[in-house]
Amino acid sequence: MTRFRFLTLLLPSAVAFSAFPHQEEIAPGVHAAGFAAKYGSANCGWAVLGNTVLMVDLPSTISAADHLREVRAATGKKDIRLILTGASPKPELVREVNGLGIQVIPATEPRLELPFGATLFRFAGLGQAVWIPRAGVLFAGPAVVNGPPARLAGLDTGAWIAALKTLEQVPARHVVPGFGSWGAPAIVTRQRRYLAELRRQVGYLVAQDRPRAQIPDEIQIGAEYQVWMAYDNPSREDIDHVYGELTAPFAPFGNNPPGRGGAPHALVLIGDGPHEPGHLEEGLRPVFEATGVTPHFTVDVKTLNAANLARVPLLVILRDGWMRPNRGDRTGVPWMTPEQEKAVVEFVQAGGSFLNLHNSMGLYPDGGPYLNLVGGRYIGHGPLERFRVEVVDREHPITRGVTAFFAADEQHTPPYDEKKVRLLLRNVSEDGKTTAAAGWAYEPGKGRLAHLASGHTRDALNHPMYQRLMRNAVLWLLRKPVP
């Protein structure tokens, strides 16, 4: 993303530069201009902010000196500022620009309000974006690629998605991406959805233990995520890069390892054959946001180990105990090793907390220390249909504020150890003939454990009462007050 130098200027609408072959006035006094494929389909723009001309990046098509002469001649302004949106501006370029009398504005913080009416966003490792409120124009820089292939190698796509969510909050009317076609704010959302969909598909295959070499052949990105169809399909290199991000050793903490102090962190293992990880993360993330927990989502079972558990106070699992490495297989092979069982048990016994969700007792080593810790076992479930979840114990903090509810889900019917755990919830089939445990909690050793049986569908996972149950459970597990 840093191989091109961009220019974002604000000049009078009547000015037309021969140096800019593709130029359009996208707002009064605000222009966008683009360049050919050999320049990466890079864009720039221009306008005047009072007595200041704001230049964001320099185009690589002409020299900085030639460009500056044209800007000064067209605007008659002497106060010219420059913002370089690339993640790593070359020092020699900065020195050249300074020698021409142009002040380079550094990004010193994630959001910087500039005195002449612009806002600068900085995204670590990804570059910068410039927002011009009076014109409703967002120059998104390298964070948005709308058409040509978005090369992913060397970038943190999880952080990229977070940056795009920030830009989606900007009330822009026009967006100029760093590369490709400019247009409405929807292009920022499309870029985010493209990256999220690629991570979702790769993650789903990782969660099933598909061979790494086979994964690119199974990725299918729909037309709704693309702009210049076929040209902007992810390459095998891009897919392999995402695979590396979602697996150890980069996963589970990536570029955001848990530190001392601050918000508690959680290791969150999700995804299996019947449960793709995308909607699971969407359903769980609001729980962590509401409880002040930093989640580290992972689809790679190898990340569940003693070393990683030692870095967090909370473990959350929403996946079964089978891997399905062969496409179309209805059966699978167990993945949890004796070392992993031991690591989970010792983590909880020593004071850690474990939220066991939905099918996280299913297909695990029968009679082993993992299921003995959880306090129950999976014996199957009924059809996908609506059933009722009722509160059994209204005195426990996990059920505080929870009332009976129903949602489309799988009714799990797990036997549980009545002498060990405290039953909190039960589920009841529509005809009343099937009643089973739907949630329990207890304190093994110095730690805490809670099991909640619902959560297969979006309907069930996002139900307000189930969201409340999960929030309450996280707070109780972490020994925080439950409101």
pLDDT digits (tens, 9 = 90+) for 140-198: 999 999 999 999 999 999 999 999 999 999 999 999 999 999 999 999 999 999 999 99
Complete domains list, the chain, with CATH: 248-477 (3.40.50.880)
**With contact defined as beta carbons under 8 Å apart, do 52 and 9 qualify?**
no
CA atoms within 13 A on the CB side of 33: 27
Check residue 18 and give its pLDDT.
56
pLDDT in tens, 163-173: 999 999 999 99
pLDDT averaged over the chain? 91
With CA atoms as reference, report the closest residue to 319 among 364, 272, 285: 272
Q: Please state, for a pLDDT cut of 70, what percent of the chain lies above it.
A: 96
pLDDT beyond 80 at 14? no
SS3 201: helix
How far is Cα of residue 133 from the mean position of the Cα atoms in its chain?
A: 27
Amino acid (1-letter code) at residue 250: F
Alpha helices in 5-126 (DSSP H): 64-75, 91-99
Largest CA distance in the chain: 85
Residue 348 Ramachandran class (φ > 0 left, ψ -120 to 50 alpha, else beta): alpha
Check residue 31 and give its pLDDT.
81
Averaged over 427-434, what is the pLDDT? 90
With CA atoms as reference, report the closest residue to 424 among 464, 457, 391: 391
Check residue 47 and give its pLDDT.
75
**With contact defined as beta carbons under 8 Å apart, do 8 and 27 qualify?**
no
> Which has more pLDDT, 81 or 334?
334
pTM for this model (two decimals): 0.91
With CA atoms as reference, report the closest residue to 370 among 321, 412, 300, 332: 321
Confidence of residue 1 (pLDDT cuts 50, 70, 90): very low
> Which has more pLDDT, 44 or 145?
145
pLDDT in tens, 445-464: 999 999 999 999 999 999 99
pLDDT beyond 80 at 11? no
- Lowest mean pLDDT, pick from 62-76, 381-395, 430-444, 451-465: 62-76
* Strands, sheet with 137-146, edge to edge from the N-terminal-most edge strand: 111-114, 118-123, 127-132, 137-146, 174-180
Confidence of residue 91 (pLDDT cuts 50, 70, 90): confident
Give 256: exposed, middle or buried? Use CB within 10 Å, 0-12, 13-18, 19+: middle
CA dihedral for 347, 351, 355, 359, sign (positive or negative): positive
Check residue 13 and give its pLDDT.
40
Strands 405-412, 103-104: pairing is unpaired
- Lowest mean pLDDT, pick from 122-126, 171-175, 294-298, 305-309: 122-126
